Amino acid sequence: MTEVNTREIILDCLMEILERGSYSHIVLQQVLEKYQYLDKRQRSFITRVVQGTVERKIEMDAVLDAVSATPVKKMKPVIRTILRFSVYQIMYLDGVRDAAVCDEAVKLAKKRGFYQLRGVVNGVLRSVCRQAGQLEFHDLSTRYSVPQWLIDLWRQEYDDKTIEQMLMAFLAPAPTTIRVNTDRISVEELKERLGKKGILVKEHPRLPYALVIDQFDHLKGMEEFSSGLFYVQDVSSMMVAQEAGLKLGDYVIDVCGAPGGKSLHAASLLAGTGMVECRDLSEEKVSLIRQNISRSGRNNIRAVKMDATLYDEASRQKADVLFCDLPCSGLGIIGKKPDIKYHMTPEKIASLVLLQRQILGVCASYVKDQGTMVYSTCTIDRQENQDNVTWFLGGHPEFSCVKMEQMLPVEGEQDGFFYAVLKKNEIEGSVSENEK
């Protein structure tokens, strides 16, 4: 087998993410599946450098601009990318010698056809090696690699101490949280099984069936995963079904359900009774839901292809519980999907708010009298969260808010997440224009 150069893989990944706009979690997933035969150490190195470079891109660019005669924006894309991930290694990977980083970067530049720039690459990186400890960035944007407009947005809602705590959580290693399928195995039994395989397992403080796992090799290669003994899901996401007040026999509709985590959780809480209808827009997403249903072995849940923006008369007054976990800016999960902070814009947020309101207006009549709607997002943006709840209640007096929580990112514990539990009272009235 031909020897694989992990830095070439990293370069290709980062070119796809930073220069072509692909999503980092998708690129990494595809690459790690392609190179499953690499040992754990090599795959971990690829993951760490790719994720770290994306997470700290603004800081890496500030370092390069401080030592290079050519601004980062004017560099050739391949050279810019090689320098970015090389600087990351110099500054954040203690186990890699600086000289080795410089040498490998020069070799990579030559191999990619930039022989004439080998001296530039070497000179810039040697300067970084000498000056890295002296470079300090005091503004939150550069220090934590978050666009300034996001800092300004959050300052409308949070103080700087809270913002900095969130930014630190985003840059900390993202924990893998799982929900135990307690129909098939107890929490203690799963902890014991995983522990015997050398996987670090600890209980999550918020929910008894949630565990945090670490030091595992390949998730899809774990028998416990493939046999449906657990589902990967952040604890903040678990709160949707947990707080919905589900009763045995309930009919649940999840209008934007892929990949199915909240719906599967609801099906579990229903203990085999009732029915959960998990919907999403595309066949690809519905296929993913079906795969997860199959792995879970549950028969009180089904996947349906349906557009949540289009009113469905057959769904009127059908749901005891309606989940509206809607498309959002994703600003609460930057720690797991760091490129979100570079793709999102104020204009996109405004567009998402309109989409969220459209779906809420369309789906409100699906809830039975005395039923429940749970509106949720994975963002920390007030416009998409509390403001949307206020807007919705203003146009739907038959609903009242019984609980609302904005969960902020907490290092090692949870993502940023929002949910509101809305109860429908029995009020006679005609169908609103949004529902038609």
Query: How many helical (H) and strand (E) elements, i.e. helices and strands, does the chain have?
Result: 18, 11
Specify the residue for token string 């990977």: 93
The total number of residues shown for the chain amounts to 436
Specify the residue for token string 């028969």: 299
- Rounded to 5 degrees, φ, ψ at 303 are -105, 140
Look at the alpha carbons of 315, 317, 321, 323 in this order and tell me if their dihedral is positive or negative.
positive
SS3 333: coil
Closest listed residue to residue 246, CA positions, set 323, 337, 340: 323
378 is catalytic: yes
- Contact at 8 Å (CB) between 251 and 320? yes
Specify the residue for token string 């229903």: 270
Which parts of 197-308 are beta strand (E)?
200-203, 210-214, 230-232, 251-254, 275-280, 301-305
Provide the Cα torsion 147, 151, 153, 158; round to 10°: 160
Listed in sequence order, the residues at least 6 apart from 435 whose beta carbon sits closer than 8 Å to its beta carbon are 311, 361, 362, 364, 365
Exactly one of 13, 324, 328, 378 is catalytic; name it. Answer: 378
- Rounded to 5 degrees, φ, ψ at 281 are -75, -45
Annotate 103-132 with b (16+ C-beta within 10 A) or e (fewer): ebbbebbeebebeebeebbeebbeebbeee
Euclidean distance between CA atoms 17 and 293, whole angstroms: 31
Q: Which amino acid is at 368?
A: K
CA-to-CA dists, residue 164 to 88, 141, 232, angstroms = 21, 10, 27
Euclidean distance between CA atoms 8 and 12, whole angstroms: 6
User: What does DSSP say about strands 210-214 and 275-280: parallel, antiparallel, or unpaired?
Assistant: unpaired
Would you call the peptide bond into 259 cis, given omega within 30 degrees of 0 as the criterion? yes
Specify the residue for token string 């530039």: 120
Closest listed residue to residue 399, CA positions, set 307, 322, 310, 313: 322
Which residues participate in catalysis according to the annotation? 378
